[in-house]
Structure 1
Amino acid sequence: MDWLQVVILAVFQGLTEFLPISSSAHLILVPRLTGWEDQGLAFDVALHLGSLAAVVAYFREELMRMARAWWASFSAADVDRDARLAWWVVLATVPVCIVGLLFRDDIALGMRSPLLIAATLIGFGLLLAYADWGHRGERSEYQLSLRDALFIGFAQALALIPGTSRSGITITAALLLGLSREASARFSFLLSIPVILLAGGLETVGLIQQPQYIDWLSLTLGTLLSGISAYLCIHYFLAFIRRIGMQPFVVYRLALGGWLLWLYWV
């Protein structure tokens, strides 16, 4: 890979991992539209590592409280709100793990069509608009119930379809349940930690089984840029949606989906 490819893919991954516009769609479309060769499994692992480091660093204080409370919950008579939130993150991750393990190869090989990506960008973009306009409430992530967490977890499983957007569909589900915009995004970001960790683990296993030449300089730069862009994205996204909402991302999804339909169908 040349340096321009490294920089563009790393920044795209860092930004789109947490924006509701689908990172998988962009990482499929960018090489296809530019004619670049596939970046390889090692580089994908590096980019995910950067995104994971960013979200852990940003929520480090909350994660420490949640981890301590979760561990204490095994012996405590009463479960506090941090322990409960930690349990909801764990349980909401189960559906995507099951679906991913059962249908991973089918998704990886059969769902990379630009027309499918266009349909999911538009369809789930409209659903995000509906949730943001009509169902947004003022509940926080600490007010989620087990039923709420499972609803968001099953919604997250849909993100295995390229173009859906993991952050987009989980934020949509949380908004439909009456969470505020910021609480919806925060729970979505917390959910990303086990998902990225597990996905990165699977990719690492694949990398070990199919060794390839590793350009360590490109991997290091990609990890660094992905982490920086992801951290900035989380910070500014939370401030942005508090004031403006999800509509700019809806417009972007509709525009990108419409352009793909025109490019590959018309």
Structure 2
Amino acid sequence: MDWLQALCLGIVQGLTEFLPVSSSAHLILVPVLTGWPDQGLAFDVAVHVGTLVAVLAYFRTTLVTLAADTLGSLHQRRLQGEGRLGAMILLATLPVITVGLLLDEATETLLRGPLVIAGANLVFAVPLWLAWRFGRGRAQEHAIGAGAALLIGLAQCLAVIPGTSRSGVTMTAGLALGLAPTAAARFSFLLSIPTIALAGGWKALGLITGDAPVHWGALAIGTLSSALAAYACIGAFLALLARVGMTPFVAYRLALGAVLLALFL
């Protein structure tokens, strides 16, 4: 892998991880459409580390309070301050742990094709638009209860299908449950922290136990470009969400799905 491929894929990962358009789909598609060699497991881990660093940095102030109050709630055996939100994030993470472990091999082999990505883009664009058009409310992320957290967590499990978009399905579920758009986005971004950390750790374990060569220069470029692009993307998306809404992303998903069907069907 040369530096240009690493830079481009890092930026692609950073821009698409937190938008409702599926980063995994784009990481699969870019090499297919450009003729580049597959970037490999090590690079996938590196760019996910980059996006994890970005979301940790962006929400650093919130996370300090969230972690302290969550640990305090566990110690006091009652929810206090931001501890309730922390508990809901942990609860919403539980479903994807089980599903990810069960379907990891399938997603790495059977579900990586362009037609799967095309179908997922087309299918999941519809509920995203419906949730934006009819489901959004005024509730903030602190109002999420156990039932809603589990539903959002179950929706997140659908993201094991490339093209679905983890942020897309979690925001869709949040909007459908009555969250305000920015609240649905913030909860989705906070939920990404344990999810990306667990997925990255699992992939890193496979990397450690494997014997594939590691190109450290490409990994460094991918990690840095992914982190910078993701940090900028989070801020821009939250700032523009109320103005642009989800319609541009729905249109993009439909267009991408149609183009992929035309190319590969």
TM-score range, shorter chain: over 0.9
Distance 1:75 1:51 in 2: 31
Q: How big is each residue's C-alpha offset from its partner over 1:66-109, in whole Å with a ceiling of 9 and x where there is no partner? A: 11001111232641241011011111011111001012112211
Q: Distance in 1 between matches of 2:207 and 2:113?
A: 24
User: Which SS does the other structure have where 2:75 is aligned?
Assistant: coil
- 2:146 corresponds to: 146
Q: Is structure 2 residue 92 aligned with structure 1 residue 86?
A: no
What SS does the corresponding residue of 1:112 show, helix, strand or coil? coil
Matches of 1:144 and 1:157, distance apart in 2: 18
Task: Name the TM-score, length of structure 2 as normaliser.
Answer: 0.98
d(CA) in 2 for partners of 1:136, 1:117: 27
Q: Which runs of 5+ in 1 are unaligned?
A: none
Output the CA distance in 2 between the equivalents of 1:116 and 1:227.
28
User: Which residue does the alignment assign to 1:235?
Assistant: 235
Deviation of the 1:213 alpha carbon: 2.1
Matched pairs, number: 265
Alignment of 1:52-201 (within 5 A): 52-76=52-76, 78-201=78-201
Contact kept in structure 1, 2:41 and 2:207, CA below 8 Å: yes
Identity across matched positions, percent: 53
RMSD: 1.0
Residue 39 of structure 1: aligned partner: 39
Query: Which residue in 1 is equivalent to 2:17?
Result: 17
Q: Aligned with 1:74: secondary structure?
A: helix
SS of the residue 2:44 aligns to: helix
* Stretches of structure 2 lacking an aligned partner (at least 5 in a row): none
Aligned to 2:224: 224
Moved >4 Å (runs of 4+): none
Report whether the alignment pairs 1:255 with 2:255. Answer: yes
Q: Quick one: distance in 2 between partners of 1:190 and 1:39?
A: 27
CA displacement 1:82-140 (0-9 Å, x = unmatched): 10110111110111110010121122111112112111101111110000000100100
TM-score (norm 1): 0.97
The AA in structure 2 aligned to 1:114 is P
